[in-house]
Each structure stands twice: as C-alpha cells, then as structure tokens.
C-alpha cells in the first residue's frame, strides 16, 4: 500500500489542521505510512497553537490523486468540503463529528463519527483504545482544537467528553487551559489585516439544502461593531461570490466570543427564509442571535430544515 494523505476540510480551522496532525501520528504508530496535509493555509489562531508547540504547519495540497490513491478524512466527510479530486482516490478512514451527507465509498472503510464538540476528542479516545502514548506537543495541539471548537467550553456542542479529554491532554502538555485557551482564541480575532475576501473564506463551508447551495462563513471576534464597519465591502464580496460560485445565499455569522452572541449578515435569495429559520427578525438588515455560537449545531440544522421544506 502507498502513502496515505490525511487532511481536514477546505478553509481549515484549528481542528481540521491539528486533527490531521494527531491522526496521522496515530496511524503512523499503527503501521501506516501517513502524512498530514492541508487544503488551505492556516489561520492566525492555528498558527498561534503551532508556534506555541513548535510544530510546522502541514503542507498545502490542491489535489491528492497526483500523489496517492489513498486518503483519510478528518473533521469532515462531505465531498464539496474535501479535496477537489476526492472522487479519484480511495477513502480508507474518516474521523468526524459533523453530519454525514454527500458521502459514499465503493469499498469498506474505517469510519468513526461521534456527536462531540471536536474531532480531536474522538482521536484522543482512539489513542487510548490503541494504548498509544500521546507526545506533549501533539497533546497541546489537540487541546487547542478542543478549545477552539468549543469556544473554551462555552459552545452548546461541548460535551463532558470534550472537557475530560481537554483536561487530560492539558496535563500531558503542561498547560493551564483557561489562560492558554483565551490567548489562543484572541489570537484568532486579529482581523484588521485581512481583506474582506479573506474574512469571508477563512472559515466557510458550502452546504446543499433543498436543492440549493448555501454558503455559511463564520468569523470570531471580540468587537462585532468593528467588523460591521466593513459591512458594505463584505456585502459586495458576498454578492460577487454568489454570482461566481452559484450560491443561492451567503450567510456570514459574526460570533462575539466574549458575549456568546452572533450577528448574522445575509446576502442572496430567500432572506426571509433565513430569518424564519432562526425564528428572528431583521434589525437594520441584520439578525442578532443571543447564545448562538455553533455553526454545526445552531446554524446548519435550522437552515437545513427551513430550505428542505
């Protein structure tokens, strides 16, 4: 068997990058020849974690079939979120914590999906099940992912398993979770140097809903008003991407990590349907959603129900 490429979704977040690193390490310990790669450049939050634990970012690939015929998917399973030539390679492994959609294989595979807050929580359990020791630097990256995906345990996606995994991993890494976690999250909110296009695509995913494509981007911040000062330019880029990529609607979720509240900017068609999905009304063209911080659990499901009716 040839080399196995391990990667997360496009526009990778901290979990996508670090779960590729941690799972590739585990697979190598189990006898696979595995390499962690990425489907995009790392964010500032992820770079903070990588720098802290003295790890290099995985190299970025655009296609996989030119290098291998075998891949492992982490932190995603949907084809439109994966490598562009996913249909040309064999998926041998999937470790994920999202919904399962637009996914099928011709051959049997290892598939592990659990409704927890972070992919690295599942990978931590796999390490324990296989009795493989976790190095301190890998443990630190895994903690970083759990902190990121659960917003330091404030997200409704967070489970007791996430908290327990993060606590044990932090002990291995020698971390104070709260101090480190807040520093890392704040590093990810440095948005001033990013263009509008970069902001909209640094953590964005496309979802098929009711026969249409809905683009959902999420940006974490500590100052919602500062980001909304660029609203006109953001709306212009969103409209352009709708036209160029065929998105039915572009939904930008601006999440304040200090107040656990999201402000939603919507460009495209069926704007009222989006408001109805959240049982909300537009105020100055924006939806303000207290307590909404999770795209996976609080944004995608109600939108899917609304568009599938």
Tokens of 66: 């030119």
Provide, for the chain, the percentages of residues in helix, strand and coil under a 3-state DSSP scheme, each rounded to the nearest 5. 40, 20, 40
54 is known to lie in a ligand binding site: no
Q: Is 15 annotated as a binding residue?
A: yes
Which residue, chain included where needed, has tokens 């572009």?
250
Question: In this predicted structure, what is the pLDDT of residue 65?
Answer: 96
pLDDT in tens, the chain (309 residues): 579 999 999 999 999 999 999 999 999 999 999 999 999 999 999 999 999 999 999 999 999 999 999 999 999 999 999 999 999 999 999 999 999 999 999 999 999 999 999 999 999 999 999 999 999 999 999 999 999 999 999 999 999 999 999 999 999 999 999 999 999 999 988 888 899 999 999 899 999 999 999 999 999 998 999 999 999 999 999 999 999 999 999 999 999 988 999 999 999 999 999 999 999 999 999 999 999 999 999 999 999 999 997
76 among the known binding-site residues?
no
Identify which of 218, 216, 214 has the alpha carbon closest to the alpha carbon of residue 191.
218
CA angle (87 as vertex; 20, 116 as ends), nearest 5: 40
pTM for the model stands at 0.84
pLDDT at 193: 87
d(CA 291, CA 71): 37
Task: Report the C-alpha gap between 167 and 187 in whole angstroms.
Answer: 21
Q: Are 185 and 221 in contact (CB under 8 A)?
A: no
Radius of gyration of the chain (CA): 19
Dmax over CA atoms of the chain, in Å, equals 57
Residues 51/137/72/60 CA torsion (nearest 10 deg): 20
Q: For Cα atoms 287, 288, 292, give the angle at the middle one, nearest 5 degrees.
A: 110
Residues written for the chain = 309
| 98 marked as binding residue | no
Cα distance between residue 165 and residue 186, in whole Å:
22
Q: Does 149 belong to an annotated binding site?
A: yes
**Dihedral of the CA atoms 107, 10, 62, 16 (nearest 10)?**
-70
| Residue 2 confidence (pLDDT) | 78
Is residue 120 within 8 A of residue 95, CB to CB? The reply is no
Instruction: Look at residue 258 in the predicted model and tell me its pLDDT.
Output: 87
What was the pLDDT predicted at 1? 57
Scanning the chain, the segments in alpha helix (DSSP H) are: 14-29, 44-52, 119-129, 136-150, 160-173, 177-187, 196-201, 224-228, 231-245, 271-277, 300-308
308 marked as part of a ligand binding site:
no
């Amino acid at each position: 068997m040839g080399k196995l490429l391990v990667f997360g979704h496009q526009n990778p977040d901290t979990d996508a990058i670090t779960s590729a690193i941690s799972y590739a390490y585990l697979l190598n310990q189990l006898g696979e020849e595995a390499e962690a790669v990425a489907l995009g450049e790392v964010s500032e939050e992820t770079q903070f974690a990588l720098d802290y634990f003295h790890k290099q970012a995985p190299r970025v690939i655009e296609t996989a079939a030119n290098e291998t015929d075998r891949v492992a998917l982490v932190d995603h399973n949907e084809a439109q979120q994966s490598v562009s030539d996913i249909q040309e390679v064999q998926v041998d492994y999937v470790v994920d914590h999202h919904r399962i959609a637009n996914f099928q294989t011709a051959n049997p595979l290892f598939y592990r999906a659990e409704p927890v807050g972070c992919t690295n929580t599942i990978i931590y359990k796999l390490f324990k099940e296989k009795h493989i020791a976790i190095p301190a630097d890998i443990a630190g990256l895994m903690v970083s992912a759990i902190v990121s995906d659960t917003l330091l345990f404030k997200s409704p996606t967070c489970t007791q398993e996430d908290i327990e995994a993060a606590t044990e991993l932090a002990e291995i890494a020698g971390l104070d979770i709260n101090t480190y976690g807040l520093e890392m999250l704040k590093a990810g909110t440095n948005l001033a140097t990013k263009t509008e296009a970069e902001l909209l695509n640094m953590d964005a995913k496309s979802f098929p809903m009711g026969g249409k494509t809905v683009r959902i981007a999420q940006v974490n911040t500590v100052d919602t008003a500062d980001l909304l000062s660029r609203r006109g330019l953001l709306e212009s880029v969103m409209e352009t991407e709708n036209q160029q990529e065929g998105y039915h609607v572009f939904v930008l979720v601006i999440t304040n990590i200090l107040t656990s509240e999201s402000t939603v900017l919507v460009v495209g068609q069926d704007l009222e349907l989006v408001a109805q999905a959240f049982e909300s009304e537009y105020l100055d063209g924006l939806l303000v959603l207290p307590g909404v911080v999770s795209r996976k659990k609080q944004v995608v499901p109600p939108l899917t129900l609304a568009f599938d009716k």
